[in-house]
Amino acid sequence: MSSRQSMRSLSVKANNYTELLSPAGSMECVRAAVNAGADAVYMGGKRFGARAYAESAVSEEDELLSAIDYCHLHGVKVYMTVNTLLKDRELSELYDYMLPYVERGVDAAIVQDMGVLEFIRESFPRLPIHASTQMTVTGHYFAGLLKDMGAVRVVTARELSLEEIKTIKDRVDIEIEAFVHGALCYAYSGQCLMSSVIGGRSGNRGRCAGPCRLPYDVLDDRMRSIGKSGERYVLSLKDLNTLPYLAKMLYSGVCSMKIEGRVKSPLYVAGVTSVYRKYLDLAIKLFNEAGDSEPGLIPVEPEDMRILSEIYDRGGYTAGYLTEHNGRDMAALFEKPEKRFPDEEIIGRIRREYLETDRKIPLFAKLTAKKGERLSLKLKYDYRGLSCEETVFSDTTVESAINRAISRDELSERISKLGNTCFYLEDTEIDADDDIFIPVKQINEIRRAAADAITGKILESRSGNRGTAQGLH
C-alpha cells in the first residue's frame, strides 16, 4: 500500500460509532469509497430506492450481494436504501426483494415510509433500521417516536443547526447521522412535490427531475422582475461543505458523517471521500483533545478545497443551516456557469490512488512443514475490530528431499502469491524442517484453500449472523 493509504487507514475514533459514510451507486463506486477510506457505504438495488434514474445504480441482485461481501472483507458496513414511499401492492413484494440481502448480512436498512419501517421490524427483527432524512426529523419528539417504533438511527433533516442536532441527541438516546457534503434541496428533503407537479416524476418515488436546478423569473404582483439581472437560478442551492465544522458536529452528537452522492461518478466518490477522511480524522483528534469543551473550527487547506471544486462545482459551497437559518449566500444564482477545464493533475492522481489501485487487507501467515506430517497453513485476520483465523492441511505428508530441498525463503515466497485476492501477507512465519521436498502444486493448493477459508470466516463473522427472517411474507 502507498504511504497515503497507510496514513489515512485506521485512525482512532472519537467513539465506537463515528463513521464516514459514502454513496455507492455502482460496484465501481463501492471500490472507490473503500479505497478512499470510507467506514460505511449506502446503496440501493433496482427497486424501492431514491435513485430510479441513476444509470450506474447497483441494479442486479448478484452485484449488490458481491458489493456486500467486498465491503465486509474490508471491514466496511453496508446500508441498504429502501427509502421511497411504497404503494400498498408493493409492500407484499418487499419481503422477497430484501431477503437475499438480509441473509447476506447487510448492516442496516434506510427507510422513509412508516409502513416499511414497521414491515422490516416485524419481518427482519435483527436488521437495524435507519430513519431516512426524507422523514424530515427536525426535533427530539419525532426522533423519540421513531426510536420507540424500532429505529436505531435517524438521519437528521439537512435544515437543522448544530444546536438543534445537539438537542435531539441530548434528549433521545439514538444514533445521529447527518449530511456533511453534497447537494441541498430547496425544500425539506422528501417534502418537495415540485417535480411531481411539473413533470409527473415524484422525488418521493426516486424520480426527481431536479426542477429546482432550472432558471426562473421571479415576479412581483405587477409581473415585474425581482432580483439582479442574470440571477435566475433562485431555487438552486450551492452544495453543502462542512469540513471546518466536523469537530463541532461530533460535539453535537453526530456519529455518522454522510456524503450525498445521487448519480455521482466513482471519481466524485473517491475524491470527496478521501478529503473527508483526512478531516474527519483530524476532527476526531480535536474532539478528543477538547474533552467536555466544544472544539473550534478546523482550518481547511486551499488545496483540499480545490480538489473538491475540481471534482464537482455547482457554483460554490455553503455550510448550509449549521450556523444560520437561511441566507442569500446559500443560492447559486449564476445565469450560466463559466466553462471550466478540470485540472488533469488532480484528477489523474485521484484515479491512480483510488480507482486504479485497490486497497489490500493485511494477513498474518504461519506455514508448518514437518517431515512425516501434513503441511499446514494458518492465516490470521486482524482488521477493523475483527480478529479471526483459519488453518488448512494438505492431504499428503511432507517428505524428505531426494535431490534439491526447498528453502524457507522459497516457501515464504510461494505462500505470499495471493494473486487476485484482496489480501497481502504483512508478516510470515515459516516453521519447517531442513531437507524437505514439497511440490509447488501442493503449496499453491494449500494457499488457495487457506485464502478461501479465511474469506468465508470473515464474511460469516461480519454478517452479524442475522439468522432466518420471520413475520410478514
Question: Which residues fall within 8 angstroms of residue 428, CB to CB, at 6 or more apart?
Answer: 364, 365, 366, 367, 412, 415, 416
Q: Are residues 297 and 397 in the same domain?
A: no
- Give domain status of residue 186, yes or no: yes
Number of structural domains (the chain) is: 2
User: Is a pLDDT exceeding 60 seen at residue 7?
Assistant: no
Task: Please give the Cα distance from 31 to 266 (Å, whole number).
Answer: 8
- Give domain status of residue 36, yes or no: yes
- Give domain status of residue 471, yes or no: no
Per-residue model confidence (pLDDT) at position 136? 92
Higher pLDDT, 135 or 209: 135
Query: Buried (b) or exposed (e) across 378-388, using 16+ Cβ within 10 A?
Result: bbbbebeeeee
Q: Are residues 280 and 170 in the same domain?
A: yes
Q: What are phi and psi of 151, to 5 degrees?
A: -75, 140
Q: Are residues 245 and 336 in the same domain?
A: yes
Q: Are residues 167 and 221 in the same domain?
A: yes
Sign of CA dihedral 327, 328, 329, 335: positive
* Mean pLDDT computed over 118-146: 96
Q: Which amino acid is at 91?
A: L
Higher pLDDT, 24 or 92: 24
- Give domain status of residue 117, yes or no: yes
- Give domain status of residue 43, yes or no: yes
Per-residue model confidence (pLDDT) at position 470? 53
Q: Are residues 368 and 231 in the same domain?
A: no
pLDDT-based confidence at residue 202 (cuts at 50, 70, 90) = low
Question: Which residues fall within 8 angstroms of residue 30, CB to CB, at 6 or more apart?
Answer: 24, 41, 43, 58, 67, 70, 71
Share of the chain above pLDDT 90, in %: 67
Tens-place pLDDT, residues 23-35: 998 999 999 999 9
pLDDT-based confidence at residue 61 (cuts at 50, 70, 90) = low
Q: Are residues 350 and 371 in the same domain?
A: no
Q: What are phi and psi of 131, to 5 degrees?
A: -80, 120
Tens-place pLDDT, residues 406-416: 999 999 999 99
Q: Are residues 384 and 326 in the same domain?
A: no
- Give domain status of residue 198, yes or no: yes
Q: Are residues 286 and 370 in the same domain?
A: no
Task: Please give the Cα distance from 203 to 209 (Å, whole number).
Answer: 8
**pTM, entire model:** 0.89
Task: Please give the Cα distance from 23 to 260 (Å, whole number).
Answer: 6
C-alpha cell at 16: 465506537
Tens-place pLDDT, residues 365-378: 999 999 999 999 99
Tens-place pLDDT, residues 285-337: 999 999 999 999 999 999 999 999 999 888 789 999 999 887 788 888 765 55
Tens-place pLDDT, residues 430-462: 999 999 999 999 999 999 999 999 999 999 999
Per-residue model confidence (pLDDT) at position 8? 34
* Mean pLDDT computed over 135-154: 97
Q: What is the DSSP string of 25-82?
A: SSHHHHHHHHHHT-SEEEE--SSSSS-TT-TT---SHHHHHHHHHHHHHTT-EEEEEE
**Which among 39, 1, 55 is positioned nearest to 280, based on CA atoms?**
39
Lowest model confidence (mean pLDDT) among 98-102, 190-194, 242-246: 190-194
Q: Are residues 92 and 26 in the same domain?
A: yes
Under 8 Å between Cβ of 86 and 112: no
Higher pLDDT, 149 or 237: 149
CATH number of the domain where residue 284 is located: 3.20.20.70
- Give domain status of residue 473, yes or no: no
Question: How many CA atoms lie within 13 Å of 261's alpha carbon, on the beta-carbon side?
Answer: 31
Q: Are residues 288 and 428 in the same domain?
A: no
**Residue 407, domain extent:** 361-462
